Amino acid sequence: MPAARPGRPRSESSRLSILVATGELLVEQGYDRLTLVDIAARAGVGKQTLYRWWPSKASLVADCVLENVVRFEPVVVAPESSALAAIRTWLDASRALLAQPDQAALFRGLSAAASSDESARGKLAERFTEPLIGGIDRALQSGIASGEIRVDVATEPLAELLIGAMMFTLMRGEPVGADWADGILTVITRGIAAAPAS
């Protein structure tokens, strides 16, 4: 039992309206034009309430994007019948996410927060990167077990390639077509060498 602290309890409605306002302004103006004053004003909240619960803009943005606004659950490799199909599913879902301007803007904001703040980097790793790597790893293991995946494939480099491709695409900002996942998946699946190494 959390042994109810004395004093007025934290307002859940304020917390929510702050996260919503942050998400809206992040989409409208981007990370660097985002102001805590604006967030507080739109959320109908005192500035101090922001600083009481979040140490920095980056931390607030990370919480906003990771916890409450974007839904990343689908972006996880599900243990499906085929490991390659699981990866393709994730690539398609990522493309669909990035194709929505709002979601892309939020993700870009998260990326900017992570690159300028240690705690945001930690949250990004904990709630996005690591689960994703875990999912990739499970998919690989099941694929290896079923004979679909080469036995000597390492998780780490594959994850770096996949997540990196997604982030690079996001950062480029240019829209990608439906064949984006195809191209990635083809390289990943078959490699580029003409003859398989013995």
Partner DNA sequence: GTGTAATCGAGACGGTACGTCCAGTCTTACA
Partner DNA sequence: TGTAAGACTGGACGTACCGTCTCGATTACAC
- The residues binding a copy of itself (CB under 8 A) are 30-32, 84, 108, 111-112, 114-116, 121, 125, 129, 140, 143, 147-151, 153-154, 156-158, 160-161, 163-169, 171-173, 180, 183-184, 186-194, 196-197
- What string marks each residue from 18 to 57 as x (binds DNA by CB under 7 A) or -? ---------------xxxxxx--x-xxxxxxx-xxx--xx
Please report how close the Cβ of residue 35 comes to DNA at its closest, in angstroms: 4
The closest alpha carbon to 122, from 55, 77, 33, belongs to 55
- Read off the tokens for 182: 């195809």
Q: How far apart are CA 50 and CA 23, in angstroms?
A: 14
Contact 36, 57 (CB under 8 A): yes
Nearer to DNA, 29 or 155 (CB): 29
The closest alpha carbon to 143, from 128, 131, 134, 153, belongs to 153
Q: How far apart are CA 128 and CA 160, in angstroms?
A: 13
The binder of DNA chosen from 14, 68, 82, 119 (CB under 7 A):
14
9 lines the binding site for DNA (CB under 7 A) = yes
Please report how close the Cβ of residue 192 comes to a copy of itself at its closest, in angstroms: 5
Q: How far apart are CA 31 and CA 58, in angstroms?
A: 9
